[in-house]
Chain A
Amino acid sequence: MKFAFFKGCKIPYYLEQYGSSTRAVLKTFGVRLLELDFCCCGYPNRDLHFESFVLSAARNMALAEKKNLDILTPCKCCYGSLKHAFHFLHENERLRRDINAELAKEGLVWKGKSTVKHLLTVLCDDIGLPAIYASIVKPLGGLSVAAHYGCHALRPSNIVHFDDPLAPSIFEDLISATGAKPVGWPRRLDCCGNPLWGKNNAISLALMRTKIADAYESGADCICTACTYCQLQFDAIQSSVKTDNAASPELPSILYTQLLGLSMGLPERLLGIKRNIIPVEKLKIV
């Protein structure tokens, strides 16, 4: 199995451990990842200018197409962005023509041949749960985990095709495989607040804190994410605004690839466990 690995803009500087842990985990399943000359997925700019968002996304998909590869991304915002652009290019012929004219200047063309997949889908469907179960050497029994789904992979379902948008189960299925126990929590499908970070921090934090309080009250030991932005929100940002307020407890957040990697017995260094700002050591799984 081989994919074009679309890391997105934030991993190299802000979340290296997501890149390294994804590589480490996928490598053990024989998945090969190729990094192309990708640019931004377009998501951050969709707020301001539709066409430049589509061009950015189309360029990435065209690069993968040229290499005959499907795209794998660990980031849900990148995933959503690429899927949306796919949809717009697919349904709007004039847009497709104009974007392709622009891409042609670089010798690229978007035909819609490459599929965009999120890491979790590849793990669950392409690699398959049985293989994942078989790879576990250190089951994380006793750990209660709140699966945070992430909006942009889940909705709008008719465009992103990720899982049932109202009752998804893919993340819990994958967490169960590690031996940890996924907890039910009312806010599991809600936004982490990161899209508003830097734009309206008060709302961004309010959304984050509501989720954390809910996960905490539902008995979770930690939150588990599979998205660059969500993890940044629950780790770096949560820790940067730490208060001593007992009403807003601190909950560590772990990347799914770290959780899986630990249960597979992969070395901590590859998983970048120490790079998490809110230490996950106290979960006693390390």
Chain B
Amino acid sequence: MRLVLEWLHDYVRPDLETRELAARLAMTGTEVDRVEHHGVAALEHFVVGRVLEAGRHPDADRLWVCTVDVGDGAPSTIVCGAPNVAAGQTVAVARPGAIMPDGTRLKAAKLRGIRSEGMILAEDEVAIGTEHAGIMVLDGLPGGAEIAPGAPLAQLLPIATEVLELEVTPNRPDCLAVYGVAREVHAATGAPLGPPPWEHDPHPAGDAIAGVRIDVEVGDLCPRFTARAFEDVTIGPSPWWLKARLLAAGQRPINTVVDITNYVMLLTGQPLHAFDLDRVAGAHLVVRRAGDGERMTTLDDVERVLDEDVVLIADDEGPTSIAGVMGGARSEVHDGTTRVLIEAATWDGPNINRTSARLGLRSEASARFEKGLAPEQALEAQAVASRLMTELCGATPLAGTIDAGGAGPAPAVVRLRDARLAALLGAPIARERSAEILGALGFGVAQAADGLDVSVPPFRRTDVTREADVIEEVARIEGFEGLPATVQENRTGRPGQLTAAQRLRRRAEDVLVGRGLREVVGWSFAGEALLDRLRLPAGHRLRAVVRVENPMSEAQAILRPTILGSLLDSAAHNAARGMGDLALFESGAVYNPDGDGPLPAEHHALAAVLRGALQPASWAAGSPPQAGFFAAKALVEAVFGALRVPLAVAPPEDPAAWPFLHPGRAAAVLAGGEPIGFAGEVHPLVVAAWDLGDQPVAAFALDLGRLVARAPETAGYADLTSFPAVRQDLAVVVPDDVPAARVVEIVGAHASSVHVFDVYRGAQLGEGRTSLALHCEFSARDRTLTDEDVAKVREKIVAQLAGIGGELRA
């Protein structure tokens, strides 16, 4: 909402600099986005002049050389190109030195050999109109003919004003109006408030208009519909004071009638619509729902297809307006219009909101209606419009006002308890002060035993209904500067701390950070193309995705079913910029449509991708280790270890589970036997799809929620020191196809710990055989084992290894 200060001053004039006023409004609930200057930059050098002589320029057909009395000293010679200039006229003059609205400084200049000492102004040159063809002739203005040449032009014309760009919150449609903001300014600053512009309604009384019929068929969607009619209407350009205000407020002047409807809307907050009464078929308007598929062409020349939720104003030939949103061309006022019907109605806010959203049509009117206007505003607007129709169009009002629906329900009375106010805010406000504030805001107040009985004015009917709403009104005007800063006691019975699961999630993330990985935060959104790039075949479980109905782009149309995609995106971003050695991880949600209830399922994933060197090259060592399956697995081991969850890694049960992984280097990650993710190398075709070159990219992804759920909250003590373990290294030779985990399982059944530290294949072992070197620890809870004890255990191990074709190497 652009608030024109020159206009505001008709109703309230606080003794504050514009910036101070803006600050005061901001601190009482009306945000000011910007302060702008409209019109000329400075008033000096803009004066009233009187044309003494006007003669043809000797060397230019279209120019006039004028002698203009501009007050002091000798008259000025001004060259003017307007065809309507003539001797005797009172005109607006910019003298050399004047700063024009676009910021340029006017200089005396020679025009075709004659020095012009200034400029006779057209309305667009001082931003109070859009016409450029002729100069402004001021004789017709009140006082225009008598004013002395040299007087400041600003005495006659509003050639400069400040404009505040207000951000009005959606609960305050009353502040989408100059008078509404004037009321706020009054309450916020204490400056006196003038009477409302609708105080005197000049329209002749009556509850009908001869020859005009209105039928409202949908009273629930149109709580009030008022109409007034005028004849002998002369349509022409509006006066400068009005055009100047419209322009400063951001509206383009059209003609008197249209300008009046816009002006009244900006002043009162109530939109109006003007019909050419002679083009209203049957002089009969019906307010009804549109038929399904009914068509109409709106003022913007677009044919709209409507449905039953849309409310129309129709005449005997069909629709003329989409109610509250936009008029139609057929009954629009035009230059030859002489009879005008002005409609001011109240529409159902949600309905207007739906209609304007569905049709993609937003207007100044719909923006106000959808917030819910008070029915009382309709007649307030009619009163102002009647006065202006008479004054500016010479119109004769036809007696009577058609009023379907009438005023709104009686205002609510809300009890404001002193104690409640103090209890909610944490500090009291004196009852007299509350009453003063509420009165200034237009509320009625009456004393009650424990506070005030507050009557809500119609224009705040939907916004203020409860005590808390009234408390807000008082508090926001009083301000919060004096409010103490206290901190409540925590009476929940629980300390403020992270849950065990939240602490463990941080622990898992910190483990990866400690190992040199960088966390990324990727997009939850992905494009359908992600599924193809991951080589997911039709019917793959990850192809079932959550879809956004109204995505910003195709690339953001689904929610990621795996976190791998966004990690590869981040890897590709960096690799493309020359940062190819990558160790990235992400911790975030992934989504799939199969939730338990009405919502999709989300789980918190922890995943990483590795590419290239895992460490910077070092002068002290050979080439650094490279990303690969075992690098990813080692990180999984680190995470599990930190969370104290036993880890199992096994070849995938379903070879098609992860089509985006290298089939020979992919494994399921199991916690307590439950599969919770994968570790592997990314399939070379997937690596290529992300333009990550031909080096291996390793990755893992875990359901962190399920991992954390298996982590013990408390570690229990085990006595590992009273009876020290016996350490022995074993070399086990097995056939190639026996997985290391099987050997570890067999040995581990007899040892307190087993760790594979070397793997060897060679001719001396024989074809198809592998040697695994194991660090083993043997211990008992109740005694220190002897060499004999361990020898017996080794015998058992040897016997069991034989079962898988294995043996101990000497």
A complexed with B: no
Interface residues of A (CB under 8 A from B): none
Interface residues of B (CB under 8 A from A): none
